Amino acid sequence: MRIFKAVVSALLVITFIALLLSAYTQYKTNMSVAGLVDASSSLANHIALKTLAYEEGGYTKEYVVDPQKIPLLDFRQEIGGENFAFQVTLRYTAGTEHVLGPYGPATPSEKAVSNITVPITVFDNYRFETGKMEVKVWRV
Protein backbone atom coordinates (compact mmCIF):
# COMPACT_ATOMS: atom_id res chain seq x y z
CA MET A 1 0.00 0.00 0.00
CA ARG A 2 2.84 2.37 0.91
CA ILE A 3 4.56 1.74 -2.40
CA PHE A 4 1.26 2.31 -4.23
CA LYS A 5 0.72 5.64 -2.40
CA ALA A 6 4.26 6.77 -3.11
CA VAL A 7 3.93 5.91 -6.81
CA VAL A 8 0.53 7.65 -7.13
CA SER A 9 1.81 10.75 -5.27
CA ALA A 10 4.85 10.91 -7.55
CA LEU A 11 2.62 10.55 -10.63
CA LEU A 12 0.37 13.33 -9.39
CA VAL A 13 3.33 15.65 -8.84
CA ILE A 14 4.71 14.83 -12.31
CA THR A 15 1.25 15.37 -13.87
CA PHE A 16 0.88 18.71 -12.12
CA ILE A 17 4.31 19.91 -13.29
CA ALA A 18 3.47 18.78 -16.85
CA LEU A 19 0.16 20.67 -16.64
CA LEU A 20 1.95 23.80 -15.45
CA LEU A 21 4.47 23.64 -18.31
CA SER A 22 1.77 22.98 -20.90
CA ALA A 23 -0.39 25.85 -19.57
CA TYR A 24 2.60 28.21 -19.59
CA THR A 25 3.45 27.29 -23.20
CA GLN A 26 -0.17 27.88 -24.21
CA TYR A 27 -0.21 31.21 -22.35
CA LYS A 28 2.98 32.33 -24.11
CA THR A 29 1.56 31.33 -27.53
CA ASN A 30 -1.72 33.16 -26.84
CA MET A 31 0.03 36.33 -25.71
CA SER A 32 2.36 36.20 -28.72
CA VAL A 33 -0.56 35.84 -31.16
CA ALA A 34 -2.54 38.59 -29.40
CA GLY A 35 0.54 40.86 -29.54
CA LEU A 36 0.92 40.22 -33.27
CA VAL A 37 -2.80 40.93 -33.91
CA ASP A 38 -2.55 44.17 -31.91
CA ALA A 39 0.63 45.11 -33.78
CA SER A 40 -1.17 44.68 -37.13
CA SER A 41 -4.05 46.93 -35.92
CA SER A 42 -1.58 49.51 -34.67
CA LEU A 43 0.43 49.49 -37.92
CA ALA A 44 -2.67 49.74 -40.14
CA ASN A 45 -3.90 52.65 -38.01
CA HIS A 46 -0.52 54.39 -38.16
CA ILE A 47 -0.34 54.00 -41.96
CA ALA A 48 -3.88 55.35 -42.52
CA LEU A 49 -3.55 58.26 -40.09
CA LYS A 50 0.02 59.32 -40.68
CA THR A 51 2.44 57.56 -43.05
CA LEU A 52 0.21 57.39 -46.15
CA ALA A 53 -2.30 60.09 -45.15
CA TYR A 54 -3.13 62.47 -47.98
CA GLU A 55 -1.79 65.99 -47.53
CA GLU A 56 -3.33 69.10 -49.02
CA GLY A 57 -1.94 72.58 -48.44
CA GLY A 58 0.12 71.42 -45.45
CA TYR A 59 -2.95 69.85 -43.88
CA THR A 60 -3.06 66.09 -43.27
CA LYS A 61 -6.34 64.39 -44.14
CA GLU A 62 -6.54 61.34 -41.87
CA TYR A 63 -8.23 58.14 -43.10
CA VAL A 64 -7.49 59.18 -46.71
CA VAL A 65 -4.61 57.25 -48.25
CA ASP A 66 -2.45 58.75 -50.98
CA PRO A 67 -0.97 55.95 -53.15
CA GLN A 68 1.75 58.39 -54.31
CA LYS A 69 3.28 58.15 -50.80
CA ILE A 70 3.77 54.37 -50.89
CA PRO A 71 7.44 54.65 -52.04
CA LEU A 72 8.11 56.58 -48.79
CA LEU A 73 7.03 53.62 -46.63
CA ASP A 74 9.60 51.90 -44.42
CA PHE A 75 8.39 48.29 -44.25
CA ARG A 76 10.01 47.62 -40.87
CA GLN A 77 8.67 49.15 -37.67
CA GLU A 78 9.42 48.82 -33.99
CA ILE A 79 6.39 48.55 -31.74
CA GLY A 80 6.70 48.03 -27.98
CA GLY A 81 10.34 47.01 -28.23
CA GLU A 82 9.66 44.36 -30.91
CA ASN A 83 10.56 44.59 -34.58
CA PHE A 84 7.92 43.89 -37.21
CA ALA A 85 7.95 43.76 -40.99
CA PHE A 86 4.84 44.31 -43.08
CA GLN A 87 3.35 44.24 -46.54
CA VAL A 88 0.63 46.59 -47.83
CA THR A 89 -1.98 46.10 -50.57
CA LEU A 90 -4.44 48.84 -51.59
CA ARG A 91 -7.75 48.14 -53.30
CA TYR A 92 -10.27 50.74 -54.37
CA THR A 93 -13.30 51.08 -56.58
CA ALA A 94 -13.35 53.71 -59.28
CA GLY A 95 -15.80 52.18 -61.72
CA THR A 96 -13.93 48.87 -61.45
CA GLU A 97 -11.72 47.57 -58.67
CA HIS A 98 -8.09 48.70 -58.80
CA VAL A 99 -5.43 46.74 -56.91
CA LEU A 100 -2.12 48.38 -55.97
CA GLY A 101 0.58 46.10 -54.58
CA PRO A 102 1.45 44.12 -52.63
CA TYR A 103 4.24 46.47 -51.56
CA GLY A 104 7.00 45.41 -49.16
CA PRO A 105 8.88 42.18 -48.52
CA ALA A 106 7.35 38.77 -49.29
CA THR A 107 5.48 37.13 -46.40
CA PRO A 108 7.55 34.40 -44.69
CA SER A 109 6.18 30.85 -44.77
CA GLU A 110 7.81 29.78 -41.48
CA LYS A 111 6.52 32.64 -39.28
CA ALA A 112 3.08 33.59 -37.96
CA VAL A 113 1.56 36.38 -40.10
CA SER A 114 -1.32 38.57 -38.94
CA ASN A 115 -3.56 40.01 -41.62
CA ILE A 116 -5.88 43.00 -41.22
CA THR A 117 -8.03 44.69 -43.87
CA VAL A 118 -9.41 48.12 -43.01
CA PRO A 119 -11.82 50.24 -45.06
CA ILE A 120 -10.20 53.48 -46.18
CA THR A 121 -10.63 56.32 -48.63
CA VAL A 122 -8.13 56.43 -51.51
CA PHE A 123 -7.21 59.69 -53.22
CA ASP A 124 -7.06 58.99 -56.93
CA ASN A 125 -7.38 61.33 -59.89
CA TYR A 126 -8.66 64.21 -57.70
CA ARG A 127 -11.41 62.04 -56.22
CA PHE A 128 -11.91 60.31 -52.87
CA GLU A 129 -12.71 56.69 -53.70
CA THR A 130 -14.00 53.89 -51.46
CA GLY A 131 -11.18 51.45 -50.76
CA LYS A 132 -9.60 48.87 -48.52
CA MET A 133 -6.07 48.50 -47.20
CA GLU A 134 -4.70 45.08 -46.38
CA VAL A 135 -1.71 44.95 -44.04
CA LYS A 136 0.18 41.69 -43.36
CA VAL A 137 2.48 41.83 -40.35
CA TRP A 138 5.07 39.43 -38.95
CA ARG A 139 7.90 39.51 -36.39
CA VAL A 140 11.51 39.90 -37.56
Partner 1 sequence: MAGLRGEERGVSDVIAIAFMLLIAIFAGVLLHAYRLDAVTSAADRQLQLKAEYVYRTLELSQVENYSLSYFEAVAENMIGLGETVVPENYLVEKIDNALSYLTPPNCSTVVELTKDNQSWIQTFPSQPASTATQFTFSGAVTIIIAEAGENRVAQVNARVTIFR
27 strand-pairing partners: none
Residue from 6, 10, 16, 76 that binds partner 1 (CB under 8 A)?
16
Binding of partner 1 at residue 130 (CB under 8 A)? Answer: yes
Query: CB under 8 Å to 130, separation ≥6 — which residues?
Result: 92, 93, 119, 121, 122
Residue from 15, 60, 68, 83 that binds partner 1 (CB under 8 A)?
15
- x/- track of binding to partner 1 for residues 41-80 (CB under 8 A): x--xx--x------------xxxx----------------
Q: Among residues 82 and 106, whose Cβ is nearest to partner 1?
A: 82
Nearest to 73 by CA among 48, 56, 98: 48
Residue from 73, 100, 113, 118 that binds partner 1 (CB under 8 A)?
118
CA distance 127 to 110: 40
Q: Among residues 132 and 139, whose Cβ is nearest to partner 1?
A: 132
Instruction: Tell me the CA distances in angstroms from 125 to 26, 38, 87, 121, 122, one per residue in order.
Output: 49, 33, 24, 13, 10
Query: CB under 8 Å to 45, separation ≥6 — which residues?
Result: 118
CB of 129 to partner 1, least distance (A): 6
CA distance 39 to 2: 55
Sequence letter at residue 140 = V
Instruction: Return residues touching partner 1 (CB under 8 A).
Output: 1, 5, 8-9, 12, 15-16, 19-20, 22-23, 26-27, 30-31, 33-34, 37-38, 40-41, 44-45, 48, 61-64, 93, 95, 116-121, 127-132
